[in-house]
Amino acid sequence: DSFALVCDTTSSLEDRYVFKKFTTEVMKSKNYIEIEPDERGVSRGSLPKDTKAALLTGDFVDSADLERLELLIVQDCYPTPASGRADIVLPAAIFAEVDGTILDGSGQKRPLYKACEPPGRAMPEWWIICRLAQAMRAKGFEYESAGEISRQAGISQATLKKERQEAPAAATNLKLRRTFFRGHRIDEKVRGLRELSVDEPCALDVGADRSEGAFQILEKREIAPNVHEIVIAAPEVAKKALPGQFAIVMVDEQSERVPYTLCGWDTQKGTITLVVLEQGQSSRKLILSKADDKLAHVVGPLGIPLEIENYGTV
């Protein structure tokens, strides 16, 4: 029991399954420590007194606990004070860089789909631990995918689209949103969140039937976590749209005027298609709208179209 592995519940269910298995089966330790972040996302814990070696997946432990260790391994996505004093640092891939399953704030399983390659030598957390276990000649860590882990762990399949009776409290009140992730300040890592005033509550009025002639949302679906495809009735915009142009959208009369790239349009149906990433208060308002809701204003098409030359058939 001189070894401890410390993580928090922001890691995927597959990651946490492998973490615990490594701690108990390979290291023969009962010191698998899983921290539940507080309402602001802060995760703090302590190491058992007899701990000599520890593996942390974030900045979770006070420096006094770390100073007495003989070996410290930190597996994280960004540098922290903990990684600064670590003997070994393992770069971890997270969220859009990995496949897996996470729990949202209400405890619902949500799938993660890999959308981009991780930077540098970063790898999924489960992959790193599995390779470490194999280097120690441990058996049972020959996983090649998160899906393989899910099946062995009995993790039921998660669905991306969840119909809710009402929006989560943190989505409509910025003061309830987490500001930390594994010891990192989120607004320092995600530039778009610097615009949000976390000191003031933000009550969002979504779903209201707005003025006559407003632009109706015809279809809306989540195509990746926090990324939504929205089809809007805007015949005049669709009629004149060209590649490379954008439209300015206001959800309600008090909203910001936000430009969104026209990802598609249908002149026959009189619709335009936007792909919206939740990255601030205004995009959150749009994402919280539902099919059949009406937007206050859609202006476009705007911008200089792309010049596409016809060079013939290649």
**Residue given tokens 């432990």 in the structure block:** 61
Summarised one tens digit per residue, pLDDT across range 142-187 is 999 999 999 999 998 877 655 666 767 776 676 777 888 998 888 7
How many of the other CB atoms lie within 10 Å of CB of 62?
14
For 175, the 3-state DSSP assignment is helix
Distant-in-sequence, close-in-space partners of 269: CB < 8 Å, separation ≥ 6: 238
pLDDT at position 46 over 90 = yes
Mean pLDDT on 68-93: 94
Stronger pLDDT, 34 or 236, i.e. the higher one: 34
How many of the other CB atoms lie within 10 Å of CB of 18?
26
**Residue 255, strand partner residues:** none
For 25, the 3-state DSSP assignment is helix
In this prediction, residue 214 carries a pLDDT of 57
Cβ atoms of 129 and 19 closer than 8 Å:
yes
Q: In the chain, what are the domains?
A: 3-153 (3.40.50.740), 215-302 (2.40.30.10)
Query: What predicted TM-score, i.e. pTM, was given to this entire model?
Result: 0.64
For the chain, report the end-to-end CA distance as a whole number of angstroms: 65
pLDDT at position 268 over 50 = yes
197: confidence class by pLDDT, cuts 50, 70, 90: very low
In this prediction, residue 130 carries a pLDDT of 97
Summarised one tens digit per residue, pLDDT across range 97-137 is 999 999 887 778 888 888 889 989 999 999 999 999 999 99
221: confidence class by pLDDT, cuts 50, 70, 90: confident
The amino acid occupying position 184 is: H
Average pLDDT, the chain: 85
CA distances from 175 to 72, 145, 178 (A): 35, 37, 8
